[in-house]
Structure 1
Amino acid sequence: MQHPFPQRYFDDFTLGEEFPIPSRTMTDALFAAFQLASGDNHPSHYDVEYCRQRGMPGMQAHGFQILIQTAAGAGWFPHLVEESMRGFIEQSSQFLKPVYTGDTLTAKLTVSELTPNRSTGVIALSSQVHNQRGELVMTGVQKYLLKKRAA
């Protein structure tokens, strides 16, 4: 099958290679969609008056709502590894600053580690999310198992 993207394997990646993800503004609709999908019913994520009474400028995003901004499928990475991808095997994240309704988030994945195995390898992508003020609001790591090119 002909792929519209050139296919890459574990051996084709280099440390520091970047995969930007388009920015996204955290709208009321995205908050509602997250609440619906997650089932999270804490008022800090859907009740603006509750938040204002506690000194917040608006509804505060759940950490997972920030994390999903780093979904690799929102960028080019998974399209490049359709033939070599064996699985998404690990994820970790740290939430550094709050995110509120109206904030615009920009995410980027960067190749931070390449661990070869015999016929596969693990590629670690560091993830970063910044808000519209350039503040780092989340960091993390995603790991994927990819096939190596046939010898």
Structure 2
Amino acid sequence: MTISTAPRGKYFEDFEVGQEFISPARTITLTDIVNFACLSGDFNEVHTNFEYCKTTSFGEPIAHGPLVYAVMAGLQYASGVNDGTLIALLQNDQWRMLAPVKHGDTIRARVRVIEKKETSKPDRGVIVVQREVVKQDGIVAQEMRTTFLYRRRPKG
């Protein structure tokens, strides 16, 4: 029996400008929010205090922006696009929080290729994408422009 060790991810050559990927979805839970507060040390009341949140426009605790970003990155990985072919996250630009994510919201990543650049090294290339965190109702909660370094397809 032969076991394949080939990556399931996309190589630099597999990306095309305009191409779009939609990740699997995941529901954000109150446990996620509390665990992230504990992990990060960010116990801001807008994330942890139901009574305080009743006085805000949110009405209830909201997920931390970086928590939503981290879940979105995991969802992009779960899609298989990066598996075994991503070398590095190089840059995030224009990261914007557009709508709150609350416990019970289900999010997914929508990723659109906007640039593809060869590098001076023949084994890698740069892919720039527009990433959006999209909630179950179609509202975009976060968006950013992200630059990744991907492996090129091996010769031979």
Please state which band the TM-score falls in when normalised by the shorter chain: 0.7 to 0.9
Query: Aligned pair in 2 of structure 1 residues 143, 149: CA closer, same or farther (>3 Å)?
Result: same
Superposed displacement of residue 38, structure 1: 1.4
Hey, what's the Cα distance between the residues in 2 that align with 1:38 and 1:91? 20
Q: In the alignment, which of 143, 150, 154 is matched to residue 139 of structure 1?
A: 143
Q: Which amino acid aligns with 1:76?
A: G
Q: In the alignment, which of 19, 34, 38 is matched to residue 36 of structure 2?
A: 34
Hey, what's the Cα distance between the residues in 2 that align with 1:28 and 1:50? 16
Hey, what's the Cα distance between the residues in 2 that align with 1:67 and 1:8? 21
Q: Which contiguous aligned blocks of 4+ residues in structure 1 show a shift greater than 3 angstroms?
A: 4-8
Hey, what's the Cα distance between the residues in 2 that align with 1:105 and 1:50? 25
Kept after mapping to 2: 8 A contact 1:114/1:124 = yes
Corresponding residue SS for 2:54: helix
Kept after mapping to 2: 8 A contact 1:19/1:76 = no
Q: In the alignment, which of 5, 10, 13 is matched to residue 11 of structure 1?
A: 13
Corresponding residue for residue 60 of structure 2:
58
Corresponding residue for residue 96 of structure 1:
98
Corresponding residue for residue 127 of structure 1:
131
**Identity across aligned pairs (percent)?**
28
Superposed displacement of residue 55, structure 1: 3.9
CA shift digits 1:7-46 (9 cap, x unpaired): 5421221112233222222211111121122111111111
Query: Normalised by the size of structure 1, how large is the TM-score?
Result: 0.84
Corresponding residue SS for 2:82: helix
Kept after mapping to 2: 8 A contact 1:15/1:111 = yes
Q: Which amino acid aligns with 2:14?
A: D
Q: Structure 2 unaligned runs (5+)?
A: none
Corresponding residue SS for 1:78: coil
Corresponding residue for residue 88 of structure 2:
87
Corresponding residue for residue 69 of structure 1:
71
Q: Structure 1 unaligned runs (5+)?
A: none
Corresponding residue SS for 1:53: coil
